[in-house]
């Protein structure tokens, strides 16, 4: 038998070391190294004498049929996966605790079972009675889903191999699974990697689609070794804020579909409800006529989404002004502020800046630069933006507004929701034509937009009994916008 080999493995990133140390040099986390036995159950002498088997080689020419897909019955889930589950594929779903991962997968397996497919739900964290209680709450107790509470991978594979091959298998969660091939404790990096490998091998051999539920770390990353994300075919992230009633399913990796699509769900008392029109949801509680709000016409994959950007610019009492961003890239906000100050004469060095994407949506595309700049200037000069206008465009470091992709889809979605005008880059006007149904305000540089907003500004009401002191206080707070209006009058 081979001599046992001990190593210290980081439980956060999977990096291995020969000796224990307090800090992992790979991920920077402290006190995450645990001692594990990395020797397999098969002796090295036996493994070295094993002869490999021959396999057939094929040429590049020939027919390559598209992989058949299995629809889950949920349009938003099929959108993210690329049209449904591919036979023999393995998906890894991660999300914060209590976000609704088990609810989503319970609904998906129930719909597949009602459609006549064999669906199996194996829970390693809950008992069968607890899963049944959730199904009764969701109104899915009559669905012919096969349930089990098991954590041994060998027992799971043996049970699933008996009889007809299931079309969909849910493993909740992969951190609770363990296999006899390694001697580490369940939940360790070695056990997670070995258990995932055994389940992936079963999926490729039988053609069953497997969904693995994974825990997440405090940083929002899927826990366990990063090699598991490379082993699976797709990595899905289920996101949402605890105070918000909607959830977003996003694909981080997908071998059989796009990675820029999102699925929007609303959490209700009867489970997750699909949202076919996310723009209407994000703009449902919009505050009309308030300074510092602008509607951004964005694109998530192939779907246009309209969302409100909220900005607040307030005088600071600190030596270094605060820059707080929720739902957007902080580095892009710093770039927009630098362009406003360098090319538009808007001095924000003495103001605290807060930017928020309403509804909790996270925006990643640079087309939101123009909407963010409009909201910032609107809050600074106390000038409400038109309530029927949408904004989109990328701002360059020179102050020019650059065009963005899928302009027609953005304008079509804005017209469908009742908006009457759109502020867009000048070079993108020729891509639209005259059938957009919106009044187009094309701008070539950020200076013209800032001048237009500043011309409608008014001093903020500071209150107080002394009228002269109030006027002086308002002039001091709005000194920069007033100076800008005088220079561009």
* pLDDT tens for each residue of 21-46: 999 888 888 888 888 765 554 444 44
- Between 398 and 457, residue with greater pLDDT: 398
**pLDDT-derived band at 470, boundaries 50, 70, 90:** very low
Residue 426 phi, psi (nearest 5) = -65, -35
For residue 486, what pLDDT is reported? 44
| Mean pLDDT confidence for 373-388 | 93
Polymer length in residues for the chain: 489
pLDDT digits (tens, 9 = 90+) for 176-218: 999 998 888 888 888 888 999 999 999 999 999 999 998 876 6
Nearest-angstrom CA–CA distance, 109 and 144: 9
3-state DSSP assignment of residue 229: helix
Q: At what angle do helices 369-381 and 446-455 cross, to 10 degrees?
A: 30
Q: Which has the closest alpha carbon to 168: 248, 258, 93?
A: 93
Angle at 269 between CA 261 and CA 262, to 5 degrees: 5
**pLDDT-derived band at 459, boundaries 50, 70, 90:** low
Angle at 37 between CA 32 and CA 38, to 5 degrees: 100
Burial of 265 (0-12, 13-18, 19+ CB in 10 A): buried
pTM score: 0.74
| Mean pLDDT confidence for 226-234 | 87
**H or E, element range at 134:** helix 128-137
Nearest-angstrom CA–CA distance, 298 and 250: 16
**Eight-state DSSP code of residue 175:** G
**Eight-state DSSP code of residue 436:** S
- Tokens linked to 214: 């994974």
| Mean pLDDT confidence for 228-238 | 91
């Amino acid at each position: 038998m081979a001599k046992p080999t001990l190593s210290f493995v980081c439980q956060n990133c999977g990096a291995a070391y020969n000796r224990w140390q307090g800090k992992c040099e790979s991920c920077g986390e402290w006190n995450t190294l645990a001692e594990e036995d990395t020797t397999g159950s098969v002796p090295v002498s036996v493994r070295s004498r094993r002869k490999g088997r021959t396999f057939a080689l094929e040429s590049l020419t020939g027919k390559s049929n598209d992989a058949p897909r299995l629809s889950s019955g949920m349009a938003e889930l099929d959108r993210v996966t690329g049209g449904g589950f591919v036979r023999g594929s393995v998906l890894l779903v991660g999300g914060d605790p209590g976000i609704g991962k088990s609810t989503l997968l319970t609904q998906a397996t129930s719909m597949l079972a009602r459609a006549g497919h064999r669906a199996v739900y194996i829970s390693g964290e809950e008992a069968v009675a607890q899963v049944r209680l959730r199904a009764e709450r969701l109104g899915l107790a009559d669905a012919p889903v096969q349930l089990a509470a098991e954590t041994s991978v060998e027992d799971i594979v043996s049970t699933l191999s008996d009889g007809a091959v299931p079309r969909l298998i849910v493993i909740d969660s992969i951190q609770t699974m363990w296999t006899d091939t390694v001697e580490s404790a369940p939940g360790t990096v070695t056990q997670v990697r070995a258990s995932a490998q055994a389940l992936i091998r079963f999926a490729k051999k039988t053609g069953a689609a497997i969904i693995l539920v994974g825990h997440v770390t405090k940083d929002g990353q899927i826990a366990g070794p990063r090699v598991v994300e490379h082993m699976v075919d797709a990595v899905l992230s289920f996101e949402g804020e605890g105070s918000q009633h909607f959830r977003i399913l996003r694909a981080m990796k997908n071998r059989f579909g796009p990675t820029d699509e999102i699925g929007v769900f609303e959490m209700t008392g009867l489970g997750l409800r699909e949202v076919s029109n996310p723009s209407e949801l994000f703009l449902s509680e919009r505050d009309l006529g308030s300074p510092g709000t602008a509607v951004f016409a964005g694109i998530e994959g192939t779907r246009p989404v309209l969302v409100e950007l909220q900005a607040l610019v307030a005088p600071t009492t600190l030596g270094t002004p605060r820059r707080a961003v929720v739902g957007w890239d902080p580095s892009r906000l710093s770039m927009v502020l630098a362009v406003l100050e360098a090319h538009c004469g808007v001095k924000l060095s003495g103001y605290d800046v807060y930017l928020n994407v309403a509804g909790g949506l996270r925006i990643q595309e640079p087309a939101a630069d123009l909407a963010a700049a409009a909201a910032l200037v609107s809050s600074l000069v106390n000038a409400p933006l038109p309530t029927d206008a949408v904004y989109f465009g990328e701002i360059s470091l020179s102050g020019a507004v650059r065009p963005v992709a899928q302009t027609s889809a953005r304008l079509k979605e804005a017209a469908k929701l009742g908006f009457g005008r759109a502020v867009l880059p000048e070079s993108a006007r020729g891509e639209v034509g005259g059938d957009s149904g919106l009044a187009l305000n094309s701008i070539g540089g950020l200076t013209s937009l800032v001048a237009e907003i500043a011309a409608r500004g008014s001093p903020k009401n500071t209150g107080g009994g002394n009228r002269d002191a109030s006027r002086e206080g308002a002039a001091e707070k709005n000194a920069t916008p007033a100076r800008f209006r005088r220079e561009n009058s």
